[in-house]
Structure 1
Amino acid sequence: MDTGIMSALKRQNSLKIDQNRFQCLHDVSIAMKDEGLTKCGLIFGIDYTMSNKVQGEKTFDGRSLHEISDDCLNPYQEVICILGETLQPLDLDGLIPAYGFGDIRTKGDGIFPLKEVGSCVGFKEVLDTYNRITPNIKLHRPTNFAPLIKKAIDIVSATGKYHILVIAADGQVNAEEETISAIVEASNYPLSIICVGVGDGPWGMMKEFDDKIPKRNFDNFQFLNFYDVVSHARNRQTAFALHALMEIPDQYHAIEELGLLNQVTKS
């Protein structure tokens, strides 16, 4: 086996231990810069499956996870705001492709762009577009991450740049084998996948995706439970951003060692 691949895999095997060095979001930012990560692309994926109507029973006061109101942000809005604001300074061009999946039109077989023409300009337009279209979207089933991951692969292939795909989803994946295959395929590209579980769970399959998928070039998929991270945090935004990004420095290091980057923009 190539020594670069062996080194990258060894580093990935110690990933959970390495995370202990991060005590605050600033530590993660410094680590990313130390690895040479100063620019990246950002992609959002939003789950519009039917289960969103009931998955807020315990964690969102019994409301639909997609409910939009003036009194508080729903979990999807929080994910967009926190990770969008945190990562936007690293974004290559300010353009953020954002997609929905699981609605009555795609039915688990595809995705649709939140914005009809072009990408969103900054996370605020992602949020504004989400707020505008969500009340009119008909939720459906099943949950399948594969079309979204494959779209992210296409974007990375076209640009040759490192990207972070953020998937906000409410529960278990139905198309398990197809999703696993897509995650494995994605490990051939400079792409990190952060899956944020919103709502009540259960999250067993997501944790399997995070820790136990074999045959990947590097550990490219991270899952975190949004409610567990923020429910007792003194600062919800900082705690969530810290947990979401703490694997990024090591993943980016592995991507570089594996030679998956065609070009790195350093400025």
Structure 2
Amino acid sequence: RKFILDYFFEERQNLNFVQYYCAVDTLMTWIFVIHRGIPGKKCGTIIVKAEELSNCRESVMMQFCGNKLDKKDFFGKSDPFLVFYRSNEDGTTIKVEVYDWDRDGGHDFIGEFSTSYRELSRGQSQFNVYEVINPKKKGKKKKYLNSGTVSKHFSCYMLFFFLVYDFVFVDFYTFSFIWFPGNPAQPTSLHYMNPYQLNAYAMALKAVGEIIQDYDSDKMFPALGFGAKLPPDGRISHEFALNGNPQNPYCNGIDGVMEAYYQSLKSVTLYGPTNFSPVINHVARYAASIKDGSQYFILLIITDGVISDMAQTKESIVNAACLPMSIIIVGVGPAEFDAMIELDGDEVRISSRGRNAERDIVQFVPFRDYIDRTGNHILSMARLAKDVLAEIPDQFLSYMKTRGIKPSPTPPPYTPPGHPLQTQI
């Protein structure tokens, strides 16, 4: 049995399988008993096969001809019509039933046959002639051969002008940059490591990261910070590896990013200003090397401050708009984020030096707008992830469509260049 479910890129959609037993009591009242299984005991197996409906991008027109079909009316020949039982997306068996049409709606069953999308897509040949079998007649009459034949005479295929990209097959190479203000040892800091709950930065990172990590083939994320003095010499950096390894800033999954973030708070000294252009240029350098659509880059920036290099940031975004990348900015804390809203570009396309961005690649949201008033952090994180990721599919498709890039087989995992990060101040 097939269940049609809407798929949302920006949400985590959990499935719950429950077994129902139906019983009847003495009063003929239907009772449904929910069986949730016994811990530690195997209660059966559920096999789930998921398919993408949008893979069906072809429209097919066909002509069929019936030959020597069983007569169901006393006078004249049968008036046949076909009923097709929809095939699975993988092209497996299609069942076709043949009926004799009656004006009163009591159509008479003549027989049935099976085919497949692959067979129907072939040109006219002996493979397109099908014996119509009536199972009841076949079981009763030993000399029964068939109830006639149906043959395909003509096919015309039309491809809808709609490109579908399977995100599972695109390596989303995701960068995470975290702005480091305030003393994390103080409860007033947004970086404060409360032993009982996540801080605002961690909640934002976990909320977005846990959704988007499922679209990355190897789940290795380069995680970097900006706005800090690094040991041992106290130099200021706007591009430092959270795990302390500039040659390999990759973390294993979002949990690895979270661990690196917490460790970095113990070793670096938080420092301003808030410069965005270095981190955008950092990702743009990687994205500029990919021109075949095999990778799409997402830059996640979590910050609480205003931008110190607004003009340079605008120029960096305009330059990046022609590259396979998107930018997500999550603002945490009570600050005003007017500059971030300007970068978002939903109302007015961002421009720099008289040049407009080719497309909108920035999505900004202030985390405070999504905090649940009852203190439910799980709900807050779900709301944030849903809104902050909502524009990614359209941004991704707009890049691919404008460049005529069509879906291709699964690319190999992305291998980053082996050079260390270059700090830009």
| Structure with a larger share of its residues in strand | 2
Matches within 5 A, 1:1-267: 25=11, 35-38=165-168, 39=170, 40-50=172-182, 63-105=188-230, 107=236, 110-117=238-245, 118=248, 119-159=250-290, 161-211=295-345, 212=348, 213-214=350-351, 215-232=356-373, 235-259=379-403, 266=410
Distance 1:126 1:220, change over 3 A: same
My pick for the range that moved more, 35-44 or 66-75, is: 35-44
- 1:49–1:24: structure 2 CA closer, same or farther, 3 Å change rule? closer
TM-score normalized with structure 2 length: 0.50
- Contact 1:189 1:261 (8 Å CA) reproduced: no
Higher CA-based Rg: 2
Check 1:265–1:80 CA distance in 2 against 1; reply closer, same or farther (3 A cut): farther
- The amino acid of 2:176's aligned partner reads F
Distance 1:155 1:71, change over 3 A: same
Determine which structure has greater relative contact order: mean sequence separation of CA pairs < 8 Å that are 6+ residues apart, divided by chain length: 1
Distance 1:93 1:159 in 2: 18
One-letter amino acid of the counterpart of residue 384, structure 2: F
Q: Following TM superposition, by how much is the alpha carbon of 1:157 offset from its aligned partner in structure 2, in angstroms?
A: 2.9
Alpha-carbon spacing, 1:190–1:23, altered in 2? closer, same or farther (3 Å): closer
Identity %: 28
Report the Cα distance in structure 2 between the residues aligned to 1:159 and 1:23, rounded to whole angstroms: 23
Q: Which moved more, 1:113-122 or 1:64-73?
A: 113-122
Alpha-carbon distance in structure 2 between the residues aligned to 1:208 and 1:183? 12
Question: C-alpha distance in 2, partners of 1:253/1:143?
Answer: 31
Quickly say closer, same or farther: Cα 1:143–1:24, change in 2 above 3 A: closer
Match for 2:282: what amino acid? K
Work out the CA distance in 2 between the residues paired with 1:266 and 1:239. Answer: 31
1:41 touches 1:96 (CA, 8 Å); kept in 2? yes
CA offset at residue 83 of structure 1?
1.4
Per residue, is there more helix in 1 or in 2?
1
Quote how far apart the aligned CAs of 1:186 are.
1.0
Give, in whole Å, the separation in 1 of the partners of 2:217 and 2:9.
27
TM-score (norm 1): 0.78
> 1:84: Cα distance to partner?
1.5
5+ residue gaps, structure 2, are 1-7, 14-51, 56-163, 412-425
Q: Which residue of 1 aligns with 2:418?
A: none
Give a deviation string over 1:58-102, Cα, whole Å, max 9, x none.
xxxx62011112111001111221111111110132110111001
Q: Which letter maps to 1:138?
A: T
Aligned 8 A contact 1:120 1:126 in 2: yes
What do you get for the CA RMSD once the two structures are aligned?
3.1
**Secondary structure class of the residue paired with 1:162:** strand
Q: Could you report, residue by residue, the CA deviation over 1:10-57 in whole angstroms, capped at 9, with x for unpaired residues?
A: xxxxxxxxxxxx898269xx9x9954322312110000134x77xx9x
In the alignment, residue 251 of structure 2 is paired with which amino acid? C
> Is the CA contact 1:187–1:220 (under 8 Å) kept in the aligned structure 2?
yes
Cα distance change of structure 1 residues 44 and 23 upon mapping to structure 2, 3 Å threshold: closer
Measure, in 2, the Cα distance between the counterparts of 1:236 and 1:264. Answer: 37
Alignment gaps of 5+ in structure 1:
1-21, 57-61
